[in-house]
């Protein structure tokens, strides 16, 4: 009887949302990591980074499960491809989170204190961008009409991130530090901002799906 009410589809939706939720947890772990790092609280940096990696791995598992379920015949083929693209692009946000954790844990960059508040602000808005994307994806399965508004929010947040990113890089290049150091800090800033960029890429795909459904 499941096929009558779309049980397979419900299972996939559950998995997709689970994937997104796990990435939210990953980003909140990353937030803790950045905060500890900026406060020079290095004692359990490794453990926190490990938790970031753990949730990134869990997100990968949820993504693969959703993809496998999708190819068992749920949804119409056109949308199957679109949804697959959305999940894959969303997953890249988690990968970037792990990359930022790696920079902090493995490269141990020296971050001038003056950048702390801006860096945290940059990261927080990236998370807000991601959360807006998450709602947009949820709306695919709840109310297509609300997607547009959410996609606009993602764009707006990403634009905000761009501004902070530029101001941080400008600040870095005005500092009296070595070029290598500047480059390392710039990479950290760019990598954090990439979280929002990737969220925007994904929200573009969500928007296309909702446009394709217009009759």
**Between 100 and 137, CB nearer to another protein:** 137
Q: What is the 3-state secondary structure (H, E, C) of 172-194?
A: HHHCCCCHHHHHHHHHHHHHHHH
Q: Which residues bind to another protein, rule: CB under 8 A?
A: 5-6, 9-10, 13, 75-79, 139-145, 209, 212-213, 215
Taking the complex as a whole, how short is the minimal distance between the CB of residue 40 and another protein, in angstroms? 48
Taking the complex as a whole, how short is the minimal distance between the CB of residue 138 and another protein, in angstroms? 10
Q: What is the 3-state secondary structure (H, E, C) of 72-100?
A: CCCCCHHHHHHHHHHHHHHHHHHHHHHHH
Which DSSP letter does residue 115 get? G
CA 187 to chain centre: 17
Phi/psi class of residue 84: alpha, beta or left (left: φ > 0; alpha: ψ in -120 to 50)?
Answer: alpha
Taking the complex as a whole, how short is the minimal distance between the CB of residue 24 and another protein, in angstroms? 21
C-beta of residue 38 within 8 angstroms of C-beta of residue 111: yes
**Between 147 and 172, CB nearer to another protein:** 147
Contacts (Cβ under 8 Å, ≥6 apart) of 188: 100, 103, 104, 109, 111, 119
Taking the complex as a whole, how short is the minimal distance between the CB of residue 151 and another protein, in angstroms? 15
Taking the complex as a whole, how short is the minimal distance between the CB of residue 206 and another protein, in angstroms? 11
SS3 133: helix
**Between 6 and 109, CB nearer to another protein:** 6
Taking the complex as a whole, how short is the minimal distance between the CB of residue 86 and another protein, in angstroms? 11
**Between 65 and 160, CB nearer to another protein:** 65
**Between 93 and 209, CB nearer to another protein:** 209
Angstrom distance (rounded) from CA 22 to CA 17: 9
Q: For residue 37, what are its two tokens?
A: 């790092």
**Between 9 and 50, CB nearer to another protein:** 9
């Amino acid at each position: 009887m499941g096929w009558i009410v779309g049980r397979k589809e419900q299972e996939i939706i559950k998995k997709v949302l689970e994937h997104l939720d796990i990435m939210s947890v990953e980003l909140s772990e990353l937030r803790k990591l950045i905060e500890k790092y900026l406060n020079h609280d290095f004692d359990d940096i490794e453990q926190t980074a490990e938790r970031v990696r753990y949730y990134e791995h869990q997100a990968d598992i949820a993504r693969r499960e959703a993809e496998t379920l999708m190819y068992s015949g749920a949804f119409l083929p056109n949308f199957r491809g679109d949804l697959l693209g959305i999940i894959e692009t969303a997953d890249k946000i988690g990968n970037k989170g792990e990359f930022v954790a790696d920079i902090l844990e493995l490269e141990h960059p020296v971050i001038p204190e003056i950048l702390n508040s801006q860096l945290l602000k940059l990261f927080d808005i990236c998370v807000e961008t991601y959360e807006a994307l998450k709602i947009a994806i949820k709306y695919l399965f709840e109310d297509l009409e609300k997607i547009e508004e959410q996609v606009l929010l993602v764009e707006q947040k990403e634009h905000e991130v761009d501004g902070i990113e530029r101001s941080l890089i400008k600040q870095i290049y005005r500092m009296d530090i070595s070029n290598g150091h500047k480059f390392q800090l710039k990479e950290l800033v760019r990598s954090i901002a990439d979280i929002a960029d990737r969220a925007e890429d994904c929200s573009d795909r969500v928007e296309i799906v909702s446009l394709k459904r217009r009759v």
